[in-house]
Amino acid sequence: MTGSTRQPLSMSRTEFEDSLDRHGGTLAQWPEAERRAAQSLVLSDRDAAAALALAARLDRALGALPAAPVELGYATRIAARVADRMAAPRLGRLAAAFGTTALAASLVAGFVLGTTLAPTDDASTLAALVLPDIDGGSSAGTSSGGTL
């Protein structure tokens, strides 16, 4: 089939209203297939025709309004806020990356030191690490005659 002999698509009232909201009240601005289906519906449905006329009036009224002037200071403040917000997360990501790198480096250092240092079975070394206040190699549980 050629483009000029295609049959218009059918369109439900709900589809017409959705398209009317999307494309406005000027059917000439609608995509071709939707426009043909809408024209067919408007010819057969008085409520659809009324909705199209109302949308066209609304479009003309909105088009007649003057454009609101934008205060330059307001636009500048908005641009500055956007720039600040875009810069802030970058610092957070940089700090997170640094923290992650530091954590990974300390894990590698701990693994290397733990595997390369010779293990000791000396109980006094372990006791000195756990109980640093041990005096002269005696433990608190075996002290003779002293007070705790």
pLDDT beyond 60 at 42: yes
Does residue 119 sit within a domain? yes
Distance CA 92, CA 18 (A): 43
Does residue 2 sit within a domain? no
Does residue 37 sit within a domain? yes
Q: Are residues 46 and 97 in the same domain?
A: no
Dihedral of the alpha carbons of 89, 94, 100, 102, in degrees to the nearest 10: -150
Q: Are residues 87 and 58 in the same domain?
A: no
34-37's contacts with Cβ under 8 Å and 24+ in sequence apart are 34/9, 36/8, 36/9, 37/8, 37/9, 37/10, 37/11
Task: Examine the fold and report which residue of 19, 38, 64 is the final residue of a domain before the chain moves on.
Answer: 64
Cβ contact 31:61 at 8 Å: no
Does residue 143 sit within a domain? no
Distance CA 68, CA 62 (A): 12
Q: In 3D, which of 9, 4, 5 has the Cα closest to residue 36?
A: 9
Encode pLDDT of 96-137 as tens digits. 677 778 878 887 877 777 777 666 666 666 556 666 565 555
Average pLDDT, the chain: 75
Q: Are residues 80 and 51 in the same domain?
A: no
Domain that holds residue 113: 74-134
Does residue 1 sit within a domain? no
Number of domains in the chain: 2
Does residue 141 sit within a domain? no
Residue 66 structure tokens: 């003057």
Q: Are residues 80 and 126 in the same domain?
A: yes
pLDDT band at 15 (very low <50, low <70, confident <90, very high): very high
Does residue 42 sit within a domain? yes
Does residue 104 sit within a domain? yes
